[in-house]
Amino acid sequence: MNELFSAVEIIATKRDKSVLTDPQIDWIIDAYTRGAVADEQMSALLMAILLNGMNSHEISRWTDAMINSGERMSWSKLSIPTVDKHSTGGVGDKITLPLAPLVAACGAAVPQLSGRGLGHTGGTLDKLESIPGWRASLSNDEMLKVLQDCGAVICAAGAGLAPADKKLYALRDVTGTVQSIPLIASSIMSKKIAEGTSALILDVKTGSGAFISDPEQAKLLARTMVDLGVRAGVKTRALVTAMDVPLGLTAGNALEVRESIEVLAGGGPSDVVELTLLLAREMLELVGVKGKDPAVALKDGSAMDHWRRMIKAQGGDPDAKLPTATESEVVLAESDGLVTEMDALKVGLSAWLLGAGRSRQGEKVQAGAGIEMHAKPGEIVKKGAPLFTLHTDEPERFPRSLAALAGAVSISASNQKVERLPLIVARID
């Protein structure tokens, strides 16, 4: 086939800090998706983008080219508005699980295409797959039926949705080019725009346990994604939220499902409840649904009803016993005092080393592996009291996991001030 451009000239353009033209971007994304551009050539371009950046028009065109590599979904058959939430991920971030059925119980439809975990941040699909029988892969017709019957669906993106992104994501992961704001923003937004939702709330995490630890960089990513959404006709808003400390009291697949069910039952840790309610209200406001208040839907059981129906509709048994790991080990406090810090990254790495996450795509995760946290910053502990319980099916994993947890918690005299990021660091419309 006679190609319009050469990959080498496009790489050189970005290497020399010049701006890529629309035809260059359209061609390179299409040619890479169909295999006419080699991995090593695209790797060189991705590194040039990471080092030299892209302007807002280049990012927008790159996103459009990735969307145009596949299909666009439509929810026009639904009688109620659609709204989705995307989180950039963190430690103990199980918010999607209670949030989707909660928003559905309040009158909006939630088509939630989710991903799997890689590294220390857990994946929503891995968590839900710890429920016996539940399946992540649905056809577009099945997704529509679950949405019509339950108001919410959480499933994997099909192969037809932004296939260019799937290929690029895998390449970025093995070439050290993940941490590029243009590439992160276009990756997330190409899938979300192609998904066909009318509105989107972005939860951009910042702090030690987040993908982007620096709050200023997190704000820049949030602004870039909001602009991409608005340009594509999707009502988009971003909240930059704290991930300096893990969310809730668990990190790990089945452990986080159990905690999510506690939230849906009207209980659960206060930080998980607070963020779930906050995001639910933002989502409903964005699509103009003034139905039931989310706090009422958690208390009256309607959110739980939607959860049970959604899990059943995807083959899961909402009454089944969740898997538990065969081995556990407890970490005890070494002194009396106030817990002043808990490093989210260290907790996440420790859970990952126990088997809760994967180090390469396609690797199997342990459903029962992970960490329970018994005290969070701001709480008083006694010497010898449990701080963490570690769970795994493979006891040989304990030494490395315990080493990763070293120094994760600081305990000080009880009159010391606890320094924490605010839950909402910034709000970007």
Strand partners, 241: 205, 424
251 vs 309: CA distance, rounded Å = 25
Alpha-carbon distance 135 to 315, whole Å?
A: 6
Q: How far apart are CA 293 and CA 343, in angstroms?
A: 34
Residue partners of 34: CB distance under 8 A and separation at least 6 = none
The whole-number pLDDT of residue 419 equals 87
- 3-class secondary structure for 356-411? HCCCCCCCCCCCCCEEEECCCCCCEECCCCEEEEEEECCHHHHHHHHHHHCCCEEE
Q: Which stretch of DSSP H or E encloses residue 426? A: strand 424-428
CA end-to-end span of the chain, whole Å? 45
pLDDT at 116: 80
Token reading at 359: 């180090």
Q: How does strand 199-206 pair with strand 235-242?
A: parallel
Please name the amino acid found at residue 401. Answer: S
Cα separation, 141 vs 36, whole angstroms: 32
Active site residue 86: yes
Among 85, 172, 223, 346, which one carries the catalytic annotation? 172
Q: Where are the beta strands (DSSP E) in 165-285?
A: 199-206, 235-242, 250-251
* Fold equal for 7-53 and 327-412: no
In 239-339, which ranges are continuous DSSP H helix?
A: 253-264, 270-286, 294-299, 302-313
Rounded to whole angstroms, the Cα distance separating 145 from 142 reads 5
pLDDT computed for residue 4 by the predictor: 86
Catalytic residue selected from 26, 93, 165, 203? 165
Determine contact, residues 268/248, Cβ cutoff 8 Å.
Answer: yes
Contact 370, 383 (CB under 8 A): no
Instruction: Kindly name the residue from 61, 85, 86, 120 that is annotated as catalytic.
Output: 86
Residue 172 falls in the annotated catalytic set: yes
Class of domain 7-53: mainly alpha
Per-residue model confidence as pLDDT tens digits over 75-90? 999 999 999 999 998 9
Beta bridge partners, 152, equal: 110
What is the per-residue pLDDT for 119? 66
CATH class of 327-412: alpha beta
| 83-313 is classed CATH 3.40.1030.10 | yes
Query: Each residue's pLDDT tens digit in the chain (429 positions)?
Result: 668 899 999 999 999 999 999 999 999 999 999 999 999 999 999 999 999 999 999 999 999 999 999 999 999 999 999 999 999 989 999 999 999 999 999 999 999 998 887 666 678 999 999 999 999 999 999 999 999 999 999 999 888 899 999 999 889 988 989 889 999 999 999 999 999 999 999 999 999 999 899 999 999 999 999 999 999 999 999 999 999 999 999 999 999 999 999 999 999 999 999 999 999 999 999 999 998 999 999 999 999 999 999 999 999 999 999 999 999 999 999 999 999 999 999 999 999 999 998 877 778 899 999 999 999 999 999 999 999 999 999 999 999 999 999 999 999 987 788 888 999 999 999
pLDDT for position 169: 87
Quote the DSSP letter at residue 321. P
Is 69 a catalytic site residue?
no
- Tell the residue number behind the tokens 């029962």, with chain if given: 368
Look up residue 382 and give its two tokens: 């006694």
Task: Identify the active-site residue in 60, 69, 180, 187.
Answer: 187
Among residues 14, 120, 167, 191, the one annotated as catalytic is 191
Question: What SS3 class is residue 339?
Answer: strand
For residues 53, 57, 61, 64, the Cα torsion angle rounded to the nearest 10 degrees is 110
* Extents of the domains making up the chain: 7-53, 83-313, 327-412
Count of C-beta atoms within a 10 Å radius of residue 384? 10
Mark whether 319 is an active-site residue.
no
For the chain, helix (H) and strand (E) counts, in that order, are 16, 13
- The predicted structure's pLDDT at residue 405: 97
pLDDT tens, residue by residue, 309-335: 999 999 999 999 999 999 999 999 999
